Amino acid sequence: MLPDQPRPTLDELIEQIGEGGARICDIDASEAGAGNISVFMGWEVEVRRHFPHAEDITLPDPAPALAGGTVLATGSGRRLRQLAADPLSAMGAVRIHEDGVTGTLYTASTRRFARLTSEFNSHLAVHQDQVDRRGIDFQAVVHAQPPHLTYLSHIPAYRSSEAMNAALLRWEPETIVSLSDGIGVLPFFIPGSQQMGAANVAGLAEHEIVLWSKHGTMSRSDVSVYRAVDRVEYAETAAKYEYMDIVAGGRAEGLTREEISSVATTFAIRSRWL
């Protein structure tokens, strides 16, 4: 989090997750039970008032850097569009034990999921890596399936970070400001696999949003859930412009490299993609 930013309360984070999930659905980036959200809190959080039921679990992968912290995550199969209306039934809080291998899962009496999101291992690995390397005490991670971005990843010519960023950063001045690190493009991997997890951690170490080819995106923010959702929205909007241009026969000029650089200079943005 920013140095002068107060730590959010659990109620505020639950609200952010609900509103963030609704926005992901507003842009058609989550069909049915697809998409998931998690938040890491590295300070003492009282979760029992919201989630009174406790059970010990083994983490999908060791997360020693998260020991003593809490991960709030959505449940498997829960629809993001319904989170705001009944959030406690659709998420759980995992307090990470000191061994970094086990934890206590706290859930509500209205729990409507058998286990946390099927991509909990990917979320946990990103939190572990970022906390371990950067020493942050807060992070939000969002997995979504934005259709235009995902479609572009089905086209071989776009399936590299260089090609994707060259295509997408040219459509709006805001894009280079909001996605200055660009979008990391990963190959297709089986969802939830070790290969997927390792590539995802490496990608999010360099970028704040990555595109899982032929699947979806994962974004992160150490400011808020809203900011992680914003990154999906900016990237998906750029992909929609690119798709529109493909359909129109490639007639649009887009921003020139010089124009993008002038925007970056004005707003003191440094980017490898300039």
DSSP code for 86: S
User: Closest Cα to residue 120, out of 66, 81, 68?
Assistant: 66
Q: At what angle do helices 194-206 and 120-134 cross, to 10 degrees?
A: 40
Residue 38's CB is within 10 A of a number of other CB atoms, namely 28
Name residues whose C-beta falls within 8 Å of residue 77's C-beta, 6 or more positions apart in sequence: 33, 113, 114
pLDDT (average), residues 200-225:
97
Tell whether 26 and 86 lie within a shared domain: yes
Instruction: For residue 2, tell me if it sits in a domain.
Output: no
Position 5 scores a pLDDT of 73
Last residue of a domain, one of 103, 119, 135: 119
For 130-152, write each residue's pLDDT tens digit: 999 999 999 999 999 999 999 99
| DSSP codes of every residue in 171-199 | S-HHHHHHTTT--EEEPP--TT-HHHHHH
Whether residues 150 and 274 fall in one domain: yes
Same-domain status, 98 and 189? no
Q: Tell me: do 93 and 197 sit in the same domain.
A: no
- Looking up residue 150, the CATH number of its domain turns out to be 3.40.225.10
Number of domains in the chain: 2
* Same-domain status, 180 and 57: no
CB 184 within 8 A of CB 201: no
Over the chain, what is the mean pLDDT? Answer: 95
- Tell whether the model's pLDDT for residue 89 goes beyond 70: yes
Give yes or no for a contact between 92 and 75, defined as CB atoms under 8 angstroms apart: yes
- What is the model's pLDDT at position 192? 82
Model confidence at 2: pLDDT above 70:
no
Q: Tokens 């002038």 sit at which residue?
A: 262
Q: What percent of the chain has pLDDT over 70?
A: 99
Same domain? For 81 and 159 the reply is no
Contacts within 8 Å (CB) and 24+ apart, 14-18: 14/50, 14/72, 14/87, 14/88, 14/91, 15/84, 15/87, 16/140, 16/224, 16/225, 16/226, 17/72, 17/74, 17/83, 17/87, 17/91, 17/225, 18/83, 18/84, 18/85, 18/87
Which amino acid is residue 15, in one-letter code?
A: E
Question: Which residues form the domain of 51?
Answer: 8-119
**pLDDT band at residue 1 under the 50/70/90 scheme:** low
Residue 230 lies in a domain: yes
Helix (H) or strand (E) holding 151: helix 147-152
